[in-house]
Amino acid sequence: MRLLQRLILLLLAIVLPWASARAERSPGDKLKVVATIPDLVDLVREVGGERVEVSTIARGKENLHNVIARPSHLVALSKADALVQIGLSLETAYIPGLLEGCGNPQVWPGGKGFINCSDGWEAIQVPVVLSRQGGDLHPQGNPHMNLDPRAGRHCVKRICDGLSKLAPEWQAEFEARRDAYLAKLEAPEKRWAALGEQFKGRKFVEYHQEYNYFAQHYGLALVANLEVKPGIPPTPNHLAEVIEKMKAEQCDVIVTALWSKNDFVQRVAEATGAKVVELPNMCGGIAGTDTWIEMMDVLHERLAKAFGIPLPEKPAPEAQKPTQKP
Amino acid sequence: MHRTLPSLSATLALATLAHAQAVPSGQDKLPPTQSNGMVAPLPPQGPLDQVAGQPNSQGTTFVTPGMPTMGLRVSSGQVTRFSNEFNPAFSFIIDSLAQVADNDTGNDGADVQLLSMELAANAWVDPNAWAYFVAVLEDESLAVEEAAIHYTGFGDKNRLRAGRFFIDFGKQMQVHVHELRTLERPLALRAFLGDEVKGDGVQWDSWTTAGDATAIRWSIGAFASTLPELDADADPAVTPVNELASPKNGDDFNFTARLTGFTEAGERGTLQLGTSARFIPNYEAQLDGATIDSDLSNTVYGVDATFGWVGETGVDSWTLGGELLISSGDTGVQLVGPNPANAADYSINGDSLMGYFAFAEYAWNRFNAVGTQFSQAELGDGDEQSEVELYYTRMFSEFHRLRFVLASNDSDFNGTSSRIALQYTAVLGAHGHGVNW
C-alpha cells in the first residue's frame, strides 16, 4: 500500500506539470484579450476589429470594487495575449489574485501584454496621506475614469499602443481603426458638451465616488457622498448630516449605480424628497449601453432628465454601430 | 519532538479578510505628447525605479577579501543595513473574544480574552520567488505558524513552496483560523487532522485548464511532520503523544496530496469539487517517554464540495459546502486499563473513523452575512461528537469585523456544551496568506 502511494505521488510529480504548459501564439493568430470591464471590451473591439477575441471580467451591474473572480476568468487570463485594465487600483479586488494564479507572466504588470488604460491619465482625488482613516483609498487617485467623457478617446490610444506592440504586423490597421473611432467620437462629444454646459453648477449627491470625473468635467456641484468614506457604508450620523446638508443646499438629486441603489439611498430620498437617478457605471448594466458611446449617452440623458434639462434629438442609429474595418 | 494526537478541544477563530495587493498600474501624471498627437508612455518612475536607475549607488559596507558580502556571494550593492526601500509588507491581526459558556463538565462562566495577535510579512525575494512569514502570539507565547517561500520560476502554472506552511487539505485546512467564516474550524477537521496542521517541507503545486470555464489544480507535499503540536496545557505524564522519527528515512516523512476542480455553474454560480489525502506512514505513540506502540500509520482522506452564487450586482451571495472525511489506519490511543499514567493501560484504535461537515452562508451585502455549520465525527469505540454553529458577521469595513456566535457541542465523552460568543477581529496593514484554491 505504501509503495503504491509513493509510486502514485512520483507519477503525479513527473507527469502532471507538463499538462499545464501554455501554448504560444503564432503570427497571424487572433489576439486573445481579457478586459477588466465591458467598456474596455467595446474599445478593444473598436481598435482590434477582427484581429482580436475579447472577453470581460466584470459585468455591467456589478460593483467594480467587489467583483468575484470565477474559473473562466482564471482560464481566460492563463491563455490571454493581453490584459486590458483601467488601473488606478480600480480592479484591485480581483486582478492581483487572478494574475498571481494565472501563471501567465505576459499579462503581468510590466509584461508585453499588460495594457493599462490609465497610463498618462491625470487622476483626480489623489490622496496626500495614505491612511485607512480615509476609507478604501486608491493611492493613485479616483479610479472611475471610464465615466469621464474624455475617457474613450484616451483609452483607445492606450489600447492601440498595446495591441500594436503585441502584433506589429497589424499596427497600421489598429491605428486606422483608432483614428476612425476618434473621428466617430466627435459627434457624440459635441452632443455631450451641449448637455454638459447646462450641468454646470447643478447640485447632486452620490452614493459612492463614482461620478466625480464626470462631475468635475462639467462643473457639477457634488454636495455629499452617502458613503462615509469610499467603501465605508453609511452610518446613521452621517446620513443625518447628508440630509441636513441636502436640505440646506436645496439639492434634490441623488445619483446611484445599479449596485448601490439600496435602502440608505431610499431613506435619504424619502427624507429630502430628492429624485434617485440610477446611472450606468460601466457598459451593459442598463439596456442600451452596450457600447461606451451608448453608455455615455444614457449617463448624460438620465442626468439631464433628473435636472429637468430638455434632451437634444437622438442620433441616427448608424452612428452608434461599431466602426467598420477600414 | 513531541506531538499530540489530533485535539478535540475547542479552538477560537478569527477573521477572513480580503487579499488586497495593489497592482502597479502606471502613472497619474500626463506624459509628453508626441509629434503625432499621441500620448507617449511615461518612463518608469517611483522609488524602486529610482533605486534601480542608480546601480550600486548605495554600496555595501566595506568588506575585505574573504569576508561575507551581504551574506551572499552575489552582491550588487542595492541595499545597506539602513535601506528600507525593499522592506516587506507587514500586517498585524488582533483577534479577541468575549463569551459565555455552559458546559456539562462544569467549566461554566463568562470570559474575555485576546485570542491571538498575528504578525505577518510578505515580499518578493526576486522576480521568481516570494516569501512570507506568519508569527502568532497566543497564550503569551510566540510561534512561527508559517515561514515559506513560493518559487514561481518554473513558469506556466507550476509552483514550488518550501518551508513551514499549512498543508493543502480541503479548503478549510489551508487557512488560518481567523480567516474562517466560523469561530472554529469544523469539528471533523479538528478531530482527524487537528486545529491547524502545518508542516516543515515542500509542496509542488500545478494547475491546468479544461475547456473555457474549468480549472483543475493538484498538489503533492512531503513534510517532516504533519502531526498537530502538543497542547501547551497538556500534562505529558497522562497525555499520550505521537512521535515521528528524527532524523528520518523515506518512510518517516509525511505526505499530502490534493486534486480539485473549479468550474462555473450557470451565469452566477461556481462549483468546486476536491479530494485530499494526508499520509503518515510511520509514527510511534508514547506516554511520558514510554512507548505505547510503534510502527503505526494513519491516512486521512477527504472529499469536498463548495458552491458559490453571487447576485448580479455582486452585492448578495450564497455559499454552500461541506467535506466528508475518513481517517484510516491507526487512528488514536484509547485508555483501556485503570491507570492513565501507565503506558501499558493504553491501546491503539485501529478502526476507520468517519466525519463530515456542512455549511451554508448568505450575505445580503458586502458587510452583513449569516450562516450555519454542522459537523459530526466518530471518535472510536462507538463514540461520536457533533457541533452546530450559527453566526452573524458584521464587517465594518474590509479591515475589521464583529461576529456574534451561538455554538453547541454534543459529545459522548464530555456531554453537552454551549456558548454565546462575540468575536472582534481587526487587521492592520496588507493582510494575505497566499491561499490555494
| Pairing between β-strand B400-411 and β-strand B241-243 as defined by DSSP bridges | unpaired
Q: Which residue of A has its CA nearest to B311?
A: A62
Backbone angles phi, psi at A154, to 5 degrees: -70, -45
Residue B154 has pLDDT above 60, yes or no: yes
Q: Give the residue, B55 or B310, on which the prediction is more confident.
A: B310
Q: At what angle do helices A38-48 and A292-307 cross, to 10 degrees?
A: 130
C-alpha A122/C-alpha B39 separation (Å) is 12
Overall average pLDDT of the B22-41 stretch: 38
Distance in angstroms (rounded) separating the CA atoms of residues B343 and B334: 11
In the three-class reduction of DSSP (H, G, I as helix; E, B as strand; rest coil), residue B52 is classed as: helix
Per-residue cell: A325: 474595418
Chain centre to alpha carbon of residue A129: 25
**Chain B interface mutation, best of A15, A37, A70, A282, highest count of B Cβ atoms under 10 Å:** A70
pLDDT for residue A179: 98
Contact B150, B125 (CB under 8 A): no
Q: What is the pLDDT of residue B45?
A: 40
Residue numbers in chain A where pLDDT is lower than 70: 1-25, 314-326
Give the Cα separation of B230 and B235 in Å (integer). Answer: 10
Structural domains of chain A in order of their starting residue, each with its CATH number: 31-185 (3.40.50.1980), 198-310 (3.40.50.1980)
pLDDT at B47: 42
A256 contacts A206 by C-beta, under 8 angstroms: yes
Min Cα–Cα distance to chain B from A122, Å: 5
CB proximity under 8 Å: A 94-113 to B: 95-97, 99-103, 105, 109-110
Q: In this predicted structure, what is the pLDDT of residue B141?
A: 86
Q: How many CA atoms lie within 13 A of B172 on its CB side?
A: 33
Statement: residue B405 has pLDDT above 50: yes
* Cβ separation A20–B206 shorter than 8 A: yes
Q: Which of B41, B157, B317 is closest, CB to CB, to A78? A: B157
Check: CB of residue B57 under 8 Å from CB of residue B79: no
Of the listed ranges A66-80, A307-321, B58-72, B297-311, the least confidently predicted one is: B58-72
Nearest chain B alpha carbon to A62: B313
Phi and psi at A142, nearest 5°, equal -60, 125
Least confident piece of the model among B12-21, B93-102, B307-316, B376-385: B12-21
User: Which chain A residues touch B365 with a CB distance below 8 Å?
Assistant: 233, 262
Per-residue pLDDT, averaged over B276-304, amounts to 93
Distance separating alpha carbons of residues A261 and B311, to the nearest angstrom? 14
Q: Across the interface, do B25 and A17 touch by the CB < 8 Å criterion?
A: no
Out of B18, B152, B158, whose CB is closest to A17?
Answer: B158
Q: Rounded mean pLDDT of chain B?
A: 82
**In A, residues 7-66, which contact B (CB 8 Å cutoff)?**
8-9, 12-13, 16-17, 19-22, 59, 61-63, 66
More confident: B93 or A315: B93
Inter-chain touch B215–A75, beta carbons under 8 Å: yes
A-chain residues near B206 (CB < 8 A): 16-17, 19-20
Q: Supply the DSSP symbol for A20.
A: T
Q: What band does B244 get if pLDDT is binned at 50, 70 and 90?
A: confident
- When scoring B19, B23, B91 by the number of chain A Cβ atoms within 10 A, the one with the most, hence best to mutate, is B23
Environment class of A270 (CB within 10 Å of its CB; exposed 0-12, middle 13-18, buried 19+): exposed
Residues 192-231 of A with CB under 8 A from B: 231
How close does chain A come to B67, measured CA to CA in Å? 37
Closest by CA position to A12, among listed B184, B219, B187: B219
pLDDT of residue B57: 35
Closest CA–CA distance from residue B434 to any residue of chain A (Å): 9
Per-residue pLDDT, averaged over B189-193, amounts to 94
Confidence of residue B61 (pLDDT cuts 50, 70, 90): low
Q: In this prediction, what percent of chain B has a pLDDT beyond 70?
A: 79
Question: Which of A49-63, B4-18, B374-388 is the least confident region?
Answer: B4-18
Cβ of B213 within 8 Å of Cβ of A70? The answer is yes
Which domains are seen in chain B, by residue range? 92-429 (2.40.160.10)
More confident position, B64 or B373: B373
Choose between B241 and B303: higher pLDDT.
B303
- Closest Cβ opposite residue A71 in set B154, B213, B255: B213
Q: Which of A20, A70, A122 sits opposite B156 (nearest CB)?
A: A20
Q: Are the beta carbons of A110 and B24 separated by less than 8 Å?
A: yes
Distance from CA of A310 to the nearest CA of B (A): 31
Q: What is the pLDDT of residues A138-197, one digit of tens each?
A: 999 999 999 999 999 999 999 999 999 999 999 999 999 999 999 999 999 999 999 999
Q: How confident is the model at residue B23 (pLDDT cuts 50, 70, 90)?
A: very low
